Amino acid sequence: KAGVTQTPRYLIKTRGQQVTLSCSPISGHRSVSWYQQTPGQGLQFLFEYFSETQRNKGNFPGRFSGRQFSNSRSEMNVSTLELGDSALYLCASSSWTGTYEQYFGPGTRLTVT
């Protein structure tokens, strides 16, 4: 079974631009969560989608948005990038049915200059 995939792996953007990151969950998983990780900040929860519905959202500004498609693939978008948005963005998938194991993708390293 293929794992969680994220594209692109690395990205360099300029302040003020916007960016879209993509995540494909493990086959059969309907839940996709996004996290931001910066040095010393741990894993900060962005949002969770299940069957195309956002069920939970973390404490991030509205510049951060996401969506999930009918095939469970998910995208997150960050508009008007700021230097502080430089981070490792992680996507994770889980089934939330019966088992609660969550599996992470390799992450997208975003650098904002």
Residues that bind another protein (CB under 8 A): 4, 6, 33, 42-43, 45, 48, 50, 55-56, 58, 88, 90, 92, 94, 96, 99-107, 109
Query: CB-wise, 11 or 43, nearer to another protein?
Result: 43
Query: CB-wise, 20 or 106, nearer to another protein?
Result: 106
In the complex, minimum distance from the CB of residue 16 to another protein, in angstroms, rounded to a whole number: 26
Neighbour tally for 52: CB within 10 Å = 13
In the complex, minimum distance from the CB of residue 38 to another protein, in angstroms, rounded to a whole number: 13
C-alpha 66/C-alpha 30 separation (Å) is: 15
Contacts by residues 36-42 (CB-CB < 8 Å, ≥ 24 positions apart): 36/60, 36/87, 36/88, 36/89, 36/90, 37/87, 37/88, 37/89, 37/90, 37/107, 38/86, 38/87, 38/88
Query: CB-wise, 16 or 22, nearer to another protein?
Result: 22
Tell me, what amino acid is at 49? Y
In the complex, minimum distance from the CB of residue 102 to another protein, in angstroms, rounded to a whole number: 6
In the complex, minimum distance from the CB of residue 43 to another protein, in angstroms, rounded to a whole number: 5
